[in-house]
Structure 1
Amino acid sequence: MGTFIQLVIDGLSTGSVYAALALAIVLVNQATGLINFAQGGMAVLSAYIAFALTQLGAPLILAILASIVASLALGALIEWYLMRRFERGDPDTAVVVTIGLLTLITGICAWIWSYDNQIFPPLFPTGTVTVLGAVLSFSSLGTIIVIVAIMVLLQVLFVGTKLGLALRAVAINTQSAAFSGLPVGRLLMVGWGLAAGLGAVAGILVAPQLSLTPGMMDNALVYALAAVILGGLSSPIGVVIAAWLIGVLENLAAAYIGFIGYDLKIAVPFILIFVVLIGRPQGLFGRKAVVRV
């Protein structure tokens, strides 16, 4: 039982990292209707900014806050200066632009900080607590609590605030939103800025658990996209639950299914996607799109 609980908690912690990035992808999609593949690179850049500030002597909490603020500004700037030229054109072109942006940001991080592994300061106390024989780190518990808080805040934003409803209106139909008097350009900047800030949280959560490198979010981005597909692009709660499900099932499959082991556990989320999408193409918690023709 202790081993099982350990695997579940560790899976929830790992899934929480995927969830942070997945929530940022959902936020951009809810604001613009696009999938932002550059989200992983922006998260890495944010982590490096926080790391550089700590190296200059800034307290960790101030470095993290400064990094999130810088990410908010960077996300808004990218939307205003770059993505706005493509958002009203072919969506496929805009997606390709975000992939190019991912490569560019990763290259910039490597150019400035190199590919050498860097040690990011721990965010949470280094102690552990024992529950039913399982040793749970404060880092794992803290990561889960942070993601739950963000999930609740995003759900409240999209469902219970005028800003969230306006962002969704712009994503659904930009022209109708503009005719209704909504400041479309400003809302798009806000959506990208918020998503970049959320990506910064993801990068800062990952950095202490792994070595800080330009490519540290590559695997997390793949799992985050899997969580988005499973949970549904319209549901922040859904993508978090899907990310947790992926993290837990990966751990359990690696430990208890002999032919999968730790070498093939990466296949687990994709098998899960295949099974779920046969019955629910919109994802576990997504809504069906109804198009009038």
Structure 2
Amino acid sequence: MQIIVSGLIFGCIYALGALGLVLIFKTTEVANFAHGEMAMITTFVSYIFLTSYGLPYLLSLVLSLLFAIIFGMFVYIVFMKRIQSAPHLNQVVLTLGLFMVFNGFAGILWGYDTVSYPEALTGSPFQISGIFISSNEIFMVGLTVLLMLVFFILFRYTKIGLAMRSASQDRIASELMGVKVTGVFMGAWAIGSAMGGIAGIMTAPITFLSPNMMGEVLIIAFAGAVLGGFNSLPGAVVGGLIVGVFQNLISFYISPELKIVFVFLLIVLVLYVRPQGIFGGSKIVKKV
């Protein structure tokens, strides 16, 4: 049970990362390979707020989220908007280029040495029915649940969410109905970047803060998104949690070095049975 609970805590990080990836893909049909590096830069900004300016953790978190939102909007307006009508392969290559640029920029600006990132809450771990869990882990789970609840309400019950769902289903029809698709795409990048930033801020205390900190997290978040169904937001959450628990079990019972290998083996087996993922639906293509 301790392994499963720890896996669920890691799964919260993967779920948030996968949620940001799926939101951008579901709205704009672009797989953002720079997602992890954008989260890493947001985490460095949060670290500066905490250390250089001495701000409280929650204030630093809020300011970092605002930065992530602006950063996501900047990436869309400056880079992605100009090629949103180009073939999807071109857009994917651009995100790969941004991945390398952001990683190099962070290395030049902050260096490649690892830095210890403070936890939100410190103290001795609690023991619940023989399972140990720290205050910081409780904070991580609570924050993840809160963000997912807010995100669900936003996407399901607001006009912004309705516009996002409309644009993801039929861009041309949405424009004809008065939906500002460009604004919707920019909003998707902003929210997706904020989700990734939270994932980065929660990852840093567990590992270390460095320009390469999100490499493995991004890979596993992608795996969780694919497992759950890359066009399903609930699937991204469930997929991230499943991958978190599964990799923890593999690390403990087999080998930590083989956890990614077995994660992708699991994905291959699931996709062999259900190619669209656990929660993914079949895509209907209309031909005239």
Whole-angstrom CA distance in 2 between matches of 1:193 and 1:49:
16
Q: % of aligned pairs identical?
A: 31
1:273 maps to 2:270:
no
Residue type of the alignment partner of 1:193: A
In the TM superposition, what whole-angstrom CA distance separates every residue of 1:186-236 from its partner, at most 9, and x where no partner exists?
111111111111111111111111110000000000000001101112322
Residue type of the alignment partner of 2:265: I
1:150 maps to 2:147:
yes
Specify the SS of the correspondent of 2:257.
coil
Query: Quick check: 103-112 or 130-139, which moved more?
Result: 130-139
In the TM superposition, what whole-angstrom CA distance separates every residue of 1:120-139 from its partner, at most 9, and x where no partner exists?
12112333111222222222
Question: How far off is 1:72 after superposition?
Answer: 0.6
Whole-angstrom CA distance in 1 between matches of 2:256 and 2:164:
41
Alignment partner, residue 174 of structure 2:
177
User: Which of 272, 285, 288 is residue 291 of structure 1 equivalent to?
Assistant: 285
Alignment partner, residue 224 of structure 1:
221
- Quick check: 1:41–1:217 contact (8 Å CA) kept in 2? yes
Query: Quick check: 134-143 or 276-285, which moved more?
Result: 134-143
Whole-angstrom CA distance in 1 between matches of 2:100 and 2:49:
24
Residue type of the alignment partner of 2:45: I
User: Which of 197, 202, 207 is residue 204 of structure 2 equivalent to?
Assistant: 207
- Quick check: 1:19–1:243 contact (8 Å CA) kept in 2? yes
- Quick check: 1:9–1:140 contact (8 Å CA) kept in 2? no
Alignment partner, residue 39 of structure 1:
35
Query: Quick check: 234-243 or 85-94, which moved more?
Result: 234-243
- Quick check: 1:31–1:192 contact (8 Å CA) kept in 2? no
1:106-255 matched pairs, under 5 angstroms: 106-255=103-252
Whole-angstrom CA distance in 2 between matches of 1:85 and 1:160:
31
> Structure 1 stretches of 5 or more lacking a match?
none
- Quick check: 2:250–2:258 contact (8 Å CA) kept in 1? no
Question: How far off is 1:99 after superposition?
Answer: 0.9
1:27 maps to 2:32:
no
- Quick check: 1:120–1:211 contact (8 Å CA) kept in 2? yes
> Structure 2 stretches of 5 or more lacking a match?
none
In the TM superposition, what whole-angstrom CA distance separates every residue of 1:145-170 from its partner, at most 9, and x where no partner exists?
22222222223332222211211222
Alignment partner, residue 276 of structure 2:
282
Specify the SS of the correspondent of 1:23.
helix
- Quick check: 1:155–1:237 contact (8 Å CA) kept in 2? no
In the TM superposition, what whole-angstrom CA distance separates every residue of 1:22-54 from its partner, at most 9, and x where no partner exists?
111011112212111111001000000011122
Distance 1:254 1:78, change over 3 A: closer
User: Which of 3, 12, 16 is residue 12 of structure 2 equivalent to?
Assistant: 16
Query: Quick check: 37-46 or 144-153, which moved more?
Result: 144-153
Whole-angstrom CA distance in 2 between matches of 1:161 and 1:18:
26
Whole-angstrom CA distance in 2 between matches of 1:204 and 1:263:
24
Residue type of the alignment partner of 2:23: L
Question: How far off is 1:112 after superposition?
Answer: 0.8
Question: How far off is 1:21 after superposition?
Answer: 0.8
Question: How far off is 1:264 after superposition?
Answer: 1.4
Aligned residues: 286
